[in-house]
Amino acid sequence: MRGKRNSVEKPKDFKKAMLNFMIILKPYRLLIIIAIILAFIGSIFSIIGPDKIKEITNIITVGLRGNLNLNKIKKIALFLITIYLIGTICNYLEHFIMATITNRFSKKLRNDISDKINKLPLKYFDSTPYGDILSRVTNDVDSMSQAIHQSIGTLVNSMTLLIGSVFMMFYTNWILALTAIISSLFGFLFMIIILSKSQKYFLAFQKELGKLNGHIEETYTGHSVVKVYNGKDLEIEEFDRINNNMFTSSIKAHFFSGLMNPIMSFIGNFGYVCVCVIGAYLAIKGTISFGVIVAFILYARLFTQPLSQIAQVATSLQSAGAASERVFEFLETKEMPSEDSQVKYLDKSKVKGEIEFKNVKFGYNPNKLIIKDFSAKVKPGDKIAIVGPTGAGKTTLVNLLMKFYDLNDGDILIDGVSIKELTRENIHDLFIMVLQDTWVFEGTIKENVIYNTKKVSFERVKEVTKTVGLNHVIKSLSKGYETILSDNESLSAGEKQLLTIARGMLKDAPFLILDEATSSVDTRTEELVSQAMDKLTVGRTSFIIAHRLSTIKNANLILVLNEGNIVEQGTHEELLKKNGFYAKLYNSQFESIKEENK
């Protein structure tokens, strides 16, 4: 999130984004055609109106001389009321259809994004701020939806009015028609220039909005850290920097687009003046009637009004184009390799629990390997502890085992079957995983414990929460197991960890991964959790990543990692006798305790 101010660049993929924009609208083409027809009919009736008003004006002009035909005026007035009423109904139906299309479009696009999220590799989320992704799902999709709702009908209406009014003007009087059109050509010229200048700033605004959402999300997540380290001024400074960039892009974009309406308004008024002057001259000469001047004033309005509407649509489409570029950039992000060719399947009820790492090599950057040449064989039911300093590759090893990342080289076998031949979903189904970072969603205690586990009785839920020592905490809450976790009813960090451990205990799987599962609990709770973990590991092949070496004394095998390689392996007692790397790690943790015992 930190960095230098980004310069505004002209979008390179705008045309491609707009093409994708049109492709995704293809399923709604029938509804769009109906909406276009309705908008066209409504516009045609609007064009007919001034010609009939001209007739009324001419009749009244004759009537002022002593012969007023009221019956004809009534018929024309009734005709006008009818066509304007039909036009109103058509416009309403067109807006209703476009609202339907907009909502369906937004729903489909968000479903596509949700589906895409599940297909993206973990690497993408490690390198992209969550706030930026959320901004694409919410703000950018909304911008596109609003553009669809406002633009298509308005554009059709405007183009119909523009073409129809030009035809009717030439049909009525070609001199006044040329006067009105020539006086409005300047508006077109300015509109083209403005559109070419403002698009890049709309794109920059959408990007800065994504950065701002990302900054707010990460600052809110680490709010307590910001407070503890008095980082308020630093975060405000960063917020102001992004906000100023966003302000600059926004003000430039809206400055250029905002010029359209006043320019078109001026051109429209200028056209009225020209029509009135030339029309008065022609009326004096007796070339045209007074009704023609009145009709032309209305036609001039019908001619300039679409220009203003087209300018507004252009602004809306620019914002939508910038948003669509970001959305489709996300949708076109490289996905995880397809697993259609993976035909092998391991039934978790039949898996023995044997895992073998064979010359595993991996690096988040292919040029810098973290795990250089890792080999190990784990027997069914073994309790394997993985220890080592920060950055040694402990969590990375588990990520590879779960197939969150693909190996650079080597292989991992589960019961003799390569994970390359198994789907990720199948592999995930074989593991119970309790992570260092707890995840609790807004819902009841019971719902959080059961999460995605099928056919679980309430008695079983109470059994596992009691096993991990969470039962007394739940009883102290206002509604027990039906308590909804929220700001008013929340758990401590340690209690959340116990809840996630209970969640893991409900899942019946042959493998267990504990990634710093006791890192957020105190010493007394750690003892309870350790006892619960001992029960959980029975009959399962377990991998325990731990910094607290006291929690893995009873492991069948301890793998000591350093710089991506196993430097030592053995039981706790064997490794202490070697007085090597593990002994130094262990003694450094308990040096103060030993001093007290002396």
Same domain, 141 and 230: yes
- The rounded distance, in Å, linking the Cα atoms of 288 and 54 is 12
Residue range 451-468, pLDDT digits in tens:
878 788 888 888 888 877
Please tell me which residue, 371 or 226, carries the higher pLDDT value: 371
- The rounded distance, in Å, linking the Cα atoms of 68 and 64 is 7
Is the per-residue pLDDT at 4 higher than 70?
no
- Other CB atoms within a 10 A radius of the CB of residue 8 amount to 18
Can you state the angle between helices 70-117 and 14-24, rounded to 10 degrees? 100
Is the per-residue pLDDT at 10 higher than 70?
no
Query: At 361, is the pLDDT very low, low, confident or very high (cuts 50, 70, 90)?
Result: confident
pLDDT of residue 76: 76
Is the per-residue pLDDT at 597 higher than 50?
no
The share of the chain scoring above pLDDT 90, in percent, equals: 1
- Residue linked to tokens 């003694």: 587
- The rounded distance, in Å, linking the Cα atoms of 181 and 278 is 13
Is 166 inside any structural domain? yes
Same domain, 375 and 316: no
Q: Please, are residues 127 and 214 in contact by the beta-carbon 8 Å criterion?
A: no
Is 348 inside any structural domain? no
Residue range 20-70, pLDDT digits in tens:
666 667 777 787 778 778 777 777 777 666 666 666 666 666 665 556 667
Please tell me which residue, 478 or 530, carries the higher pLDDT value: 478
pLDDT of residue 517: 64
Same domain, 112 and 192: yes
Same domain, 325 and 381: no
CATH of the domain at 226: 1.20.1560.10
Is 336 inside any structural domain? no
Please tell me which residue, 43 or 92, carries the higher pLDDT value: 92
pLDDT of residue 413: 92
Residue range 268-325, pLDDT digits in tens:
777 777 777 888 888 787 777 777 777 777 777 777 777 667 767 776 777 777 778 7
DSSP letters, 297-358, are HHHHHHHHHHHHHHHHHHHHHHHHHHHHHHHHHHHTSPPPPP-TT------TTT----EEEE
Question: CA angle at residue 579 from 578 to 581, to 5 degrees?
Answer: 100
3-state secondary structure of 207: helix
Indicate the residue among 331, 365, 400 that finishes a domain. 331
Same domain, 370 and 499: yes
Ranking 13-27, 70-84, 546-560 by mean pLDDT, the lowest is 13-27
3-state secondary structure of 404: coil
Number of domains in the chain: 2
Same domain, 231 and 167: yes
Pairing between strand 417-418 and 409-414? Answer: antiparallel
- Other CB atoms within a 10 A radius of the CB of residue 237 amount to 10
Q: What are phi and psi of 7, to 5 degrees?
A: -80, 150
Q: Which residues contact 274 (CB under 8 A, 6 or more apart)?
A: 179, 180, 183
Query: At 412, is the pLDDT very low, low, confident or very high (cuts 50, 70, 90)?
Result: very high
Mean of per-residue pLDDT scores for the chain: 76
CATH of the domain at 580: 3.40.50.300
Same domain, 238 and 112: yes
Same domain, 258 and 171: yes
Same domain, 364 and 460: yes
What residue numbers bound the domain in which 241 lies?
14-331
Mean pLDDT, residues 561-567 taken together:
76
* Cα dihedral: 284, 272, 87, 93 (round 10): 170
Same domain, 501 and 580: yes
**pTM of the predicted model, to two decimals?**
0.62
Residue range 488-547, pLDDT digits in tens:
557 777 778 788 888 887 877 888 888 776 665 666 666 766 676 777 777 788 888 877
Same domain, 429 and 366: yes
pLDDT of residue 20: 66
Residue range 186-236, pLDDT digits in tens:
666 776 677 667 767 777 777 787 778 777 777 776 666 676 667 777 778
